[in-house]
Amino acid sequence: MTIQALHKTYLEHPSICTDTRKLNKGDIFFALKGDNFNGNEYAEQALKKGASFAVVDEKRFATEKGTIWVENVLESLQKLANFHRHYCNAQIIGLTGSNGKTTTKELIHAVLRTKYRAVATKGNLNNHIGVPLTLLSIKKDTEIAIVEMGANHQKEIEFLSKLAEPDFGYITNFGKAHLEGFGGIDGVIKGKSELYDYLLENDKAVFMNADDPVQRQKLERCIKKYGYSQNDPKFYQIQMGRPDPYISLKVEDTLINSQLIGAYNFTNCCAAMLIGKYFNVPMEKIKEAIESYTPQNNRSQIITKKGHQIILDAYNANPTSMKVALGNFKSMKGKNKVLFLGDMFELGDSAKEEHQHISDLTYNLGFENVFFVGENFYHTQNNFQKFKRFKDLETYLKANTVILNATILIKGSRGMALERILDLI
């Protein structure tokens, strides 16, 4: 089947599923393959559960009525998404970076949807499968789509950029994330910059953090660039002194009181404001959108429980995000501060060194009630409480009262699932 014919079928059944456990009646099932599964084997099951069609790439599974055979299911999904991207009229904003992608995406979406019919990547569907699904979520009347792009190797952002063909782009930052796959911080900069490379090559517009020397250098000759800077008090300025841990911002004499913590979220808000202003969203709408946004899914959530004020930041962690989180936690008001820090993944040969750096930073910042969890933190040199496995921490917490009425930071990589601590304190 040609992509044009497949797209016509998609328009008649505009809902895609790649997992039979989440399939709804009428979905088109795409039988993707993985290291440990073959989606073709579930095509018949998908049709019996109510799928309108099942797209397969092995002819022995294309015998049932409703199956569509293609050369490669994944490539067909990606080509279908690119075809649909051109079928629709939405302007696309590509977004990547080492830290803050999802929060920034949600803030931009919150701002733009006050004026436009806008869609954005759901959750973290930002890879070679997630980006096509995001593109296919664009409707004919969608005006703007924010497409998040994630990567842990070179050339991935380049591929996703060619797939989504964004009209605009923004890189949140360049940090020590996925060092193993990118080959160090220089590799991170090179890999993430593939978005800007695409935009420049195709004469598209870029948004930038003008305080970031890497972005300034990368975009020195760019004509279509729009930036923000903390150094311009007429536009962006942190307002300090609130009695709560949340950040406030002043923009053109408009005070915005967010429900976000940490200076790192200041830049995320600035990006949303910059892009909102570019698209002529009124300042009062920008203020309303940012003030109404609350983080979810274990991303810097503020939780009150049993007299504790808890910052749950257990969605992900890398040396850069861990450093700024610790700095922010140090600056926060609050007594009886307690840290639960879990291992940072995908650091390769740098893992031992980077975990020791975070251990040293934790000590130098003066934290005393610290609990490290995971193989890497377990082998750091310090006098903090250390647990090689989560169940060891679980046993300890069930037998001991850590502290009463504490201010607590919980942060670690997704694989550590440190949100489980909430049930133990």
CB atoms within 10 A of CB 236: 21
Q: Which of 233, 264, 292 is the last residue of a domain?
A: 292
Residue 15 identity (one-letter amino acid) = S
For the whole model, what pTM was predicted?
0.86
Do both 380 and 405 map to the same domain? yes
Starting at the edge strand that comes first in sequence, how are the strands of the sheet with 407-411 ordered?
301-305, 308-313, 407-411, 337-342, 369-373, 385-387
Residues 203 and 347 in one domain: no
Alpha carbon dihedral 280, 211, 169, 322, in 10-degree steps, equals -120
Question: Are 222 and 101 in a shared domain?
Answer: yes
Of 274, 273, 271, 269, which is closest to residue 258 (Cα–Cα)?
269
> What is the rounded distance in angstroms from the CA atom of residue 394 to the CA atom of residue 51?
43
Q: Could you tell me if 247 and 98 lie in one domain?
A: yes
Asked whether residue 81 is assigned to any structural domain, the reply reads: no
Residues 92 and 65 in one domain: no
Q: Are residue 142 and residue 281 in the same domain, yes or no? A: yes
CATH number at residue 225: 3.40.1190.10
Contact 75, 147 (CB under 8 A): no
Domains identified in the chain, total number: 3
CA 138 to each of CA 54, 119, 141, 151, 275: distance values in angstroms, whole numbers, following the listed order: 21, 7, 8, 22, 20
By three-state DSSP, how is residue 105 classified? helix
Instruction: Verify that 281 and 132 share a domain, yes or no.
Output: yes
- Does residue 80 belong to any structural domain of this protein? no
User: Which CATH number goes with the domain that contains 342?
Assistant: 3.90.190.20
Which among 292, 309, 336 is the end of a domain? Answer: 292
What end-to-end distance do the CA atoms of the chain give, in Å? Answer: 56
Sequential pLDDT tens for the chain (425 residues): 899 999 999 999 999 999 999 999 999 999 999 888 999 999 999 999 999 999 999 999 998 899 999 999 999 999 999 999 999 999 999 999 888 888 999 999 999 999 999 999 998 789 999 999 999 999 999 999 999 999 878 899 999 999 999 999 999 988 776 667 777 788 888 888 999 999 999 999 999 988 888 898 889 888 899 988 877 766 666 655 555 678 888 887 888 999 888 777 888 999 999 999 999 999 999 999 999 999 877 677 888 888 899 999 888 888 988 998 999 899 888 779 999 999 999 898 899 999 999 999 999 999 999 999 999 999 999 999 999 999 999 999 999 887 888 999 999 999 999 999 999 98
> Is residue 77 assigned to a domain?
no
Q: Which domain holds residue 146?
A: 88-292
Rounded Cα distance between 259 and 290, Å, is 8
User: Same structural domain for residues 134 and 248?
Assistant: yes
In sequence order, the 6+-apart residues with CB closer than 8 A to the CB of 131 are 81, 121, 125, 147, 149, 160, 163, 164
Residues 267 and 389 in one domain: no
User: Are 280 and 396 within one domain?
Assistant: no
Domain assignment of residue 112, yes or no: yes
Q: Is residue 53 domain-shared with residue 103, that is, in the same domain?
A: no
Q: Is residue 79 part of a domain?
A: no
Closest to 81 (Cα-Cα) out of 121, 24, 123, 41: 121
55: domain CATH number is 3.40.1390.10
DSSP of 196-254: HHHHHHTT-EEEEETT-HHHHHHTTT-SSEEEE-TT-TTT-EEEP--SSSEEEEEETTE
Last residue of a domain, one of 292, 315, 337: 292
Residues 232 and 333 in one domain: no
